[in-house]
Structure 1
Amino acid sequence: MSPEELSSDPPGVGALSSVFHVYRVERDGEEIQFVGEPLIPPGTLSKEVTPLFAQRGYDVEVTRRHGDGGPAPYALVAQPESVGIDGIPWGNLVMFVLTVATTLYAGTWWYHIDLAGDPLNLLEAWPFTAAVLGVLATHELGHYVLSRYHGVDASLPYFIPVPPPIGTMGAIIRMRGQIPSRKALFDIGVAGPLAGLAATIVVTVVGLHLDPISVPAAAAQPAEGAASIQFNDPPLLTLLAELVGQPLTYDDPTKAVNPVVFGGWVGMFVTFLNLIPVGQLDGGHILRAALGRRQETVAAAVPGVLFAMAGGLYFLTEYTQSTILWGIWGVIALVMVRAGSATPLREGSIGNKRLALAGLTFLAGALCFMPVPIEIVMA
């Protein structure tokens, strides 16, 4: 099939001629590949061609072709945009609404709200939902904004609903475009944790200044042998409480810190997990941008560290829940190591300022670390 035959679908070959020399055009269903060679630096190619394809209703991704055996090392892969029905991202909206519902329900646990008398009492847990989803949304929108800034096509956040006690497993965005450079990879990777951490600090400080909640007598003094879940405090949470002069616990068992503070706890836990330096996690992106391909050496050691932590907790403590948690994350890290990290189109140093910011970001992540984040306590 000649390029001219496709000129009425996505942008024509002539429209690309100033930035991309097309050797041939390939079609596979709705996907169209313009195979050829960039006439400008590959790292800036995505910014140039994305608007051309977008105005014709196509998403485009710049990819390298390995093992092609010819003179065409790159391809522009175009597919019709898939935003949703009538241009509305229904998938994102449905997932968001479901997550609002599950976090509201989780909030009733923390506020000790009785739903038996009136199910609409569920809405009284809105501060908890606002805290948790506000932190997660800010994190993902940090990625989204910097992706768009660097010309990388990214979806809106998809929130993931789960049952209490948290009500969500977080949120994700899908990046469909090739990342143009190591600097862009760093900016996109670091934006989420830094934005989310800023929101986490605000939510935590606000929660610490809110009035404590009343705990029912049955919950304040559980029956002997009853089990309860305890969420331990990371160093950052303790530090913030000390800085603002507010307590995290009360001598009176019928009082407890406002559940909005737990929204901050969720933000800190999510920040640490995302900064594990492996694969497609934010920490993996940051380290790949900082170290280049040497990042693979560091990433290969991460699963072993997580398994060692799980083993240490198993043999040296009674925190079996955390043993399972870090064992699962060891497996996740192992899978991510095998899958590999993001590969930007253009290599090159990210500069000393970004390297310093990488160090500060990982330090902030360390302040969110808890070897035993969750434990089961018997009365």
Structure 2
Amino acid sequence: GGLLFKGNLRGQAAKSYEKITKRMEDRLGDQYKLFILINPEDDKPVAVVVPRKTLQPEITAVPEWFAAGAFGLVTLFTLLLRNVPALQSNLLSTLDNLDLLKDGLPGALVTALVLGVHEISHILVARNAGVKLGLPYFVPSWQIGSFGAITRILNIVPKREDLLKVAAAGPLAGFSFGLVLLLLGFILPPSDGIGVVVDSSVFHESLLAGGIAKLLLGDVLKEGTPISVNPLLIWAWAGLLINAINSIPAGELDGGRISFAIWGRKASSRFTAASIVLLGLSSLFNDVAFYWVALIFFLQRGPIAPLSEEITDPDNKYVALGVTVLLLGLLVCLPYPFPSQVKPLQVFSDTIGYSNQTFTSLVLCC
């Protein structure tokens, strides 16, 4: 239980929080925790005081390191499998052809690097912000190799700006690294001289990738003829898509935490509801959206745990970074409407397993 105090908040919320907290500690010690929140009934500030012993994190039956490691191993397998087309058509043959998985190692490694940069950035920024994170649970996906990672926040985040820093750090780093790899994929010729042969219509699937392709490849995209590209382009694109999916403003995804930190709890709940509805509608047409909306609904829909002080808005420079992440997610997912003859994507490389249907599903999912 706890106590709820209503009234008028005089002065700045951050300074008031520090003063009240100091007075409580001087008189009551460290037994109680103060929260300054927004009352959802009238949108006015309220103070909530609860015993600290009620705020201890739950202890799971399975050790966190064991569960995270198990999820990581399965995700590694799906990343490898996603890049071996010969095994995708007959999943049961995988055990008899484990040697073929090595063909998927380059693509799995590139995508895993993008995911790793994402998670490491979360960890580094969280340490500076005084936010304690749990181990990342990487979520395997048969469609794209991985849906990213679920990372719990184990302590109470001081303020919205701290949450924004931590939430935006991962996708911002992941997008940046993935974009560099994507550009290298466009610029560098295939090492074997053939690479991956795709139809130009594949670049319809992403406004970001399509815009870069239009800029670098020019009128080649209008011809509707097969184009040979470095497989690094496809692998980096997969990493960008995973970052974009995690930037959806819903629940406790990075995008959901960003929207909460920028616009507050009420706006965040509306973004979550809208995102789940849109993903639910998309799931009628593709299985990627179905799995993702199920993941959000059962594991990540929130609500986000209360912050110590939720009144003060973040600094504008951090707001700009958060909005940039949300916009990058849209740029990756939205289609690019340049005119060209639409043909199915054909992939002739033995090392790549992405198809036009996969990219279309991902766009609908986002």
Taking structure 1 as the reference length, what is the TM-score of the superposition?
A: 0.61
CA contact 1:137–1:157 (8 Å) conserved in 2 = no
SS of alignment partner, residue 211 of structure 1:
coil
Note if 1:345 corresponds to 2:308: yes
1:240 corresponds in structure 2 to 212
Change (3 A) 1:375 1:180: closer
SS of alignment partner, residue 340 of structure 1:
coil
Structure-1 separation of matches of 2:50 and 2:230: 57
1:270 CA drift (Å): 2.1
Structure-2 separation of matches of 1:282 and 1:80: 22
Paired positions, count: 296
The worse-fitting range, judged by mean Cα deviation, of 353-362 and 367-376 is: 367-376
Change (3 A) 1:98 1:245: same
CA contact 1:212–1:256 (8 Å) conserved in 2 = no
1:260 corresponds in structure 2 to 232
CA contact 1:279–1:341 (8 Å) conserved in 2 = yes
- Structure ranking higher in helix proportion: 2
Bigger Rg, structure 1 or 2 = 1
1:172 CA drift (Å): 2.4
Change (3 A) 1:98 1:283: closer
Structure-1 separation of matches of 2:161 and 2:244: 22
Alignment of 1:46-195 (within 5 A): 73-75=50-52, 77=55, 89-109=65-85, 119-163=98-142, 165-195=143-173
Change (3 A) 1:79 1:186: closer
CA contact 2:147–2:245 (8 Å) conserved in 1 = no
Q: 5+ unaligned residues in a row in structure 1: which ranges?
A: 1-16, 25-33, 43-70, 221-229, 315-319
1:362 corresponds in structure 2 to 326
Structure-2 separation of matches of 1:117 and 1:338: 39
Percent of matched pairs sharing the same residue: 25
1:306 to 258, 278, 288: 278
Change (3 A) 1:273 1:215: closer
Note if 1:279 corresponds to 2:251: yes
CA contact 1:276–1:283 (8 Å) conserved in 2 = yes
Change (3 A) 1:22 1:285: farther
The amino acid of 1:270's aligned partner reads I
1:153 CA drift (Å): 1.6
Change (3 A) 1:19 1:197: farther
Deviations 1:201-256 (A, max 9, x none): 1221233324177589xx99xxxxxxxxx796311112233444497899776x75
Structure-2 separation of matches of 1:189 and 1:96: 21
1:35 corresponds in structure 2 to 31
Structure-1 separation of matches of 2:221 and 2:115: 22
Structure-2 separation of matches of 1:334 and 1:212: 43
- Structure ranking higher in strand proportion: 1
